[in-house]
Structure 1
Amino acid sequence: MTTPDFDRRCAEIARQTAQLRDLVEGADALTPVPGCPGWHLGQLVRHVGGAHRWVEEIVRTRATREVPDDAVNEVAPRRAEDMAALGAWLDEGAGRLVAELRAAGPGARVWTVLPGVTSPAFWARRMAGETLVHRADAALAVGAEFTATDEAARDAVDEWLSFCDHPEAYAPLPGSPAVLGPGRTLAFDTAPGAAAGGGSPTGGAPPADGGPAASGSPAPGNTPSAAGHPLTCDAPGPTAPARWLVDLTGDAPVLHRTAAPAAVTVRATPTALLLFLYGRPVPDGSLDITGDRDLLTLWRDRAAFWLT
């Protein structure tokens, strides 16, 4: 039996891939990708297509253990390529992935990067967000406007925030400030009317630090540990308030999907918040940040552990 969220995310993979293909088809494969320093457009497309094929194999074979992901992280060297042909290759891989996800359904059991999470629903959500973020990278690279539906952007934001309770995101590090502590709370608000009110391009927030390491796919050597809590694949629905509170005052972070006062608050559209959390450039005036910006910088850097 399938679910509306699962079906929507499968459709989102296909939709985002088609839009990504349209962006790159007439572009130069050697165009630098600002959101992924050191990569060019051809490498970006091969990374996304490699991720689709990697997950397709996992789901198709009902893998119960880790599958090598060389095609994801070891992208091709710099070279001129026919982007129309590469776009067709990308589209083919996404089609195969979506077909396998739908054939398996959310009730099947497959390996994922998270201990205790075995549903293809994880991969449907992960690949929808992966493709969306890299479409933003492609748009920036070719000078096109990036837009996303609130529903797709909010779902990707919710997934990103859901990783906050894994030890890599908060465990003490030698020589680094503590993430947990009294009064440490962060609020994120993307509800209607929560758009920025004149902050700076980054609002004093963490700098954009994307790149190959910030690909959007948890790297095999840097996945959440078994000590962390299982990641939920649920998210606010289309009509739910798009607000989150990250509570750092206890023994481990707790994510609440609610509005509440916090030590630092970020207000933005869903798309702007998505770009901010993923360390991508954010348009001027898109973020309204109030409160403890140092806490936001510290937490944002640590919570991005799964992108390193």
Structure 2
Amino acid sequence: MTTPEFTRRCAEITHQTAELRRLVESADALTPVPACPGWHLGQLVRHVGGAHRWVEEIIRTRATQEVPDDLVNAVAPRRAEDMAALGAWLDEGAGRLVEQLHAAGPGARVWTVLPDETSPAFWARRMAGETLVHRADAALAVGAEFTATDEAARDAVDEWLSFCDHPEAYAPLPDSPAVLGPGRTLTFDTAPAAPDAADGGPSPDGGGPAVPGRWSIDLTGDVPVLHRTAAPAAVTVRAAPTALLLFLYGRPLPEGALGITGDRGLLTLWRDRAAFWLA
């Protein structure tokens, strides 16, 4: 049985892929991608399309063990690349992925990159966020404006923050400052128009819980704890949803896009460690 969140994320994959294709199909494949140093636009598109096909295989075969991700990483530059054809290839792969996600439904069991996640629902969310962020990279590369709905951006932010309790994000490292400690708390606030919806209340259209818009992370215990509400903190970040998303992913931002109060050093340390899963 499907869920509104699963259906929405599948639709987001389709939408973000179509927008990415629109951005790149008439561009030069060798256009540098500033947000992905060393990559050209053709490589970026093959990375996204490869990720779609990799996950499609996982879902289609109901894989319970790791599937080689050669398609994701085989992105060596190519001198002659037809971006219109590559865009069609991208679109086709996303279509196959979404078809398999719907066929499996969120209740199936499949391998994922995280040991405590075993559902296609994880992959629907992961691929929606992946495609959204790389669309931002493509927009920057070609000099186009990047916009996203608040719902899509907040969902991708919520996914990022949900990884904060994985050991890689906080476990002690040699010669590295501690992430956990007394007084170490962070708050992220996307200043929503409807506070009740932002804190997980009903969405305005009655379609189920809204995507959170405020979060706090408590680093004072043995394990980070994520709360989907704002709280007084050692450091607070206020931004529009899209700006917060790009900040967490380390993407360029316009001057003044973020409002940061408090311990910036803690914020930098936490963000760098929380990015473990992008390595």
Please, what TM-score do these two structures have when normalized by structure 2?
0.93
Match of 1:71 in 2: 71
Match of 1:266 in 2: 237
Number of aligned residues: 268
Distance 1:17 1:236, change over 3 A: farther
Q: 1:281 aligns to what SS in structure 2?
A: coil
Q: Letter of the aligned partner of 2:51 in structure 1?
A: A
Distance 1:80 1:100, change over 3 A: same
Q: 1:304 aligns to what SS in structure 2?
A: helix
Q: 1:245 aligns to what SS in structure 2?
A: strand
Distance 1:9 1:241, change over 3 A: closer
1:177 and 1:128 map into 2 onto residues whose CA distance is 33
The percent identity for this pair of structures is 86
1:240 and 1:302 map into 2 onto residues whose CA distance is 24
Q: Letter of the aligned partner of 2:268 in structure 1?
A: T
**Which structure's relative contact order is higher, taking Cα pairs within 8 Å and 6+ residues apart?**
1
Aligned alpha-carbon RMSD (Å):
1.4
Match of 1:255 in 2: 226
Q: Letter of the aligned partner of 2:10 in structure 1?
A: C
Match of 1:122 in 2: 122
Measured after TM superposition, the shift of residue 241 of structure 1 is 5.0
Tell me, yes or no, if structure 1 residue 290 matches structure 2 residue 251.
Answer: no
1:173 and 1:240 map into 2 onto residues whose CA distance is 33
Structure 1: tracts of 5 or more residues without a match: 195-234
Q: 1:27 aligns to what SS in structure 2?
A: coil
Q: Letter of the aligned partner of 2:264 in structure 1?
A: R
2:185 and 2:144 map into 1 onto residues whose CA distance is 36
Please, what TM-score do these two structures have when normalized by structure 1?
0.85
Which has the higher mean CA deviation after the structures are superposed, 152-161 or 236-245?
A: 236-245
More helix by share: 2
Q: 2:231 aligns to what SS in structure 1?
A: coil
Measured after TM superposition, the shift of residue 283 of structure 1 is 1.3
Distance 1:237 1:22, change over 3 A: farther
Structure 2: tracts of 5 or more residues without a match: 195-199, 204-209
Q: Letter of the aligned partner of 2:148 in structure 1?
A: A
Match of 1:242 in 2: 213
Match of 2:206 in 1: none
2:123 and 2:23 map into 1 onto residues whose CA distance is 24
1:259 and 1:27 map into 2 onto residues whose CA distance is 42
Q: 1:186 aligns to what SS in structure 2?
A: strand
Q: 2:188 aligns to what SS in structure 1?
A: strand
